[in-house]
Structure 1
């Protein structure tokens, strides 16, 4: 065997290392030749953006929700109260984990199964959803409409402050089977599930009452005016017709049969009464005075009792 001197051995070893480096280099093996053909300078088309999804925040998925009317799919843009509840696998009671009064809220929640509840006044809608890491956008349908109430005497509207309304759901022939709300004011928007309701309108605080059945349709506001037959009377105890009223007089308004309709104390209290016949009793310093009187719808007037 021919023995190489140190210089020749070093030179050959360096050549082998250089050749291996060239062969094994990924850059030299994969770089393509430049394209100099026609259209080489034309840019590639931009990639189409993916559909917008609720973005994840801090590892939590985004649940974006909105509500719509069930019949025409129109969006509900106000009056909503949202609650998000967990749906457990062991059958335990759901637990509220998020709330919002926004029309289209977005919640950051861990992935999992939830119950979405949307309240729209006295109506509501519920939906079960499965929230994954990619997020979810969903809608809840609600079968609901609204009711706006007013009252009148003939063609004259009754001031809102003198009216109150109660709304009932009829049950098995009973028009006032279940109370939905009481003390509602004129012009107030009452949001209700679709259906037929019994409305009771009270003018003043005695017996001027009217009733009507009203239908509420999904996605619509039903305006209903109840027409009263009543009047406002001012009670007075006087020494002579048109005279000054006695202060501190106790008044009782009765039906002809003796049922007490209203009691009041003062020099000239005002009472709103339904159309009809009445008996007025006035008590002053141990003395009792009375008279019969009649109320005609829309005819506000003084009712004087003579102290003699």
Structure 2
């Protein structure tokens, strides 16, 4: 019996685990963006057979019965009750090309088919699973699809003891490539979701979610085992910092940079705003603020302590 994810062969060739796809069903679809620069963008949640011709078999030839069910993982007490996009494809044989014989979106459909060899594809929450199926005549044949998946539920707090954030958080889901550490690559990104909270249904493996809010972000490495549910609260360890300076107005540019330079000797900018007295949400750490308004400029070092809101004054010259 062969069970494959639609792009597992490609993943193996690139040296990392079989892929996972985000469950975006918990948010407004307009807030979800497929990572178009991903090397897998054309395969995320899409049928490999969407462009095949459709052929409806004659009722007199459809003497075989195929029943399909699915589970989230081995040992699941209940079958999946959510919609699943099923596609039944007749294999190419004897000079006859592949064609789609049937489609259905119910969780447990029954198909009347001519006896023979088929490929059955089931897409659940954007996870694509394909299987070869030999359907005999006579007694109904049942196939159980196992999505080998776990579930991650995410929320965010600005600092310890604070209430969860209830406005839009940006959640970026990535493959975790072996040896990559915190060096996330754009072409490993699967989805960008904008919502206060988010839930991902993913096949077993290792992933990273980058959560961004108010100009600051935090990464969470997510090892997932099939059949398990995880709940994470991401703590930004942040505080609000308000800046002001004599002579600042609505055209004043404020740039916040890390105090410690990167490997290239340059300080990384983490946030910027224009205004007379802006407020930033910043993670705990050491920073420098640079200010420019007309011919006036200023720079000031400052520290941020989680949950300790502060005001920083900058002298312009």
TM-score normalized by the length of structure 1: 0.66
Specify which of 164, 172, 183 is matched with residue 178 of structure 2.
172
- 1:85-96 equivalence runs, <5 A: 85-89=89-93, 94-96=98-100
Q: How many residues align?
A: 246
Tell me by how many angstroms 1:232 deviates: 2.8
Distance, in Å, in 1 between the alignment partners of 2:291 and 2:160 is 31
Task: Tell me, yes or no, if the aligned pair for 2:175 and 2:190 is still in contact at 8 Å.
Answer: no
Change (3 A) 1:166 1:120: same
Tell me by how many angstroms 1:104 deviates: 1.6
Given the alignment of the two structures, is residue 232 of structure 1 paired with residue 240 of structure 2, yes or no?
Answer: yes
Greater RCO (Cα-Cα under 8 Å, separation 6 or more): 2
Task: Tell me, yes or no, if the aligned pair for 1:144 and 1:218 is still in contact at 8 Å.
Answer: yes
Q: Which runs of 5+ in 2 are unaligned?
A: 1-56, 262-266
- What is the aligned partner in structure 2 of residue 190 from structure 1? 200
TM-score normalized by the length of structure 2: 0.64
- 1:244-283 equivalence runs, <5 A: 246-256=249-259, 257=261, 258-283=267-292
Task: Tell me, yes or no, if the aligned pair for 1:116 and 1:128 is still in contact at 8 Å.
Answer: yes
- The CA RMSD over aligned residues, in Å, is 3.3
- 1:285-304 equivalence runs, <5 A: 285-304=294-313
Tell me by how many angstroms 1:154 deviates: 0.7
Deviation string, structure 1 residues 255-282 (Cα, Å, up to 9, x no partner): 3344333222223444322212222222
Tell me by how many angstroms 1:132 deviates: 4.7
Deviation string, structure 1 residues 112-160 (Cα, Å, up to 9, x no partner): 3211122233544333223355554432222111111222211224415
Deviation string, structure 1 residues 37-60 (Cα, Å, up to 9, x no partner): xxxxxxxxxxxxxxxxxxx99434
Tell me by how many angstroms 1:216 deviates: 1.8
Q: Which runs of 5+ in 1 are unaligned?
A: 1-55, 240-244
Distance, in Å, in 1 between the alignment partners of 2:233 and 2:269 is 29
Specify which of 115, 125, 130 is matched with residue 126 of structure 1.
130
Distance, in Å, in 2 between the alignment partners of 1:201 and 1:269 is 23
- What is the aligned partner in structure 2 of residue 159 from structure 1? 165
- What is the aligned partner in structure 2 of residue 30 from structure 1? none
- 1:46-65 equivalence runs, <5 A: 58-59=59-60, 60=62, 62-65=65-68
Higher strand share: 1
Distance, in Å, in 2 between the alignment partners of 1:113 and 1:286 is 77
Task: Tell me, yes or no, if the aligned pair for 1:146 and 1:191 is still in contact at 8 Å.
Answer: yes
Change (3 A) 1:95 1:298: farther
Change (3 A) 1:222 1:96: farther
Given the alignment of the two structures, is residue 116 of structure 1 paired with residue 120 of structure 2, yes or no?
Answer: yes
User: What's the secondary structure of 2:306's corresponding residue?
Assistant: coil
- What is the aligned partner in structure 1 of residue 43 from structure 2? none
Distance, in Å, in 1 between the alignment partners of 2:277 and 2:96 is 63
Greater Cα radius of gyration, structure 1 or 2: 1
Tell me by how many angstroms 1:99 deviates: 3.3
Task: Tell me, yes or no, if the aligned pair for 2:244 and 2:278 is still in contact at 8 Å.
Answer: yes
Specify which of 208, 214, 218 is matched with residue 210 of structure 1.
218
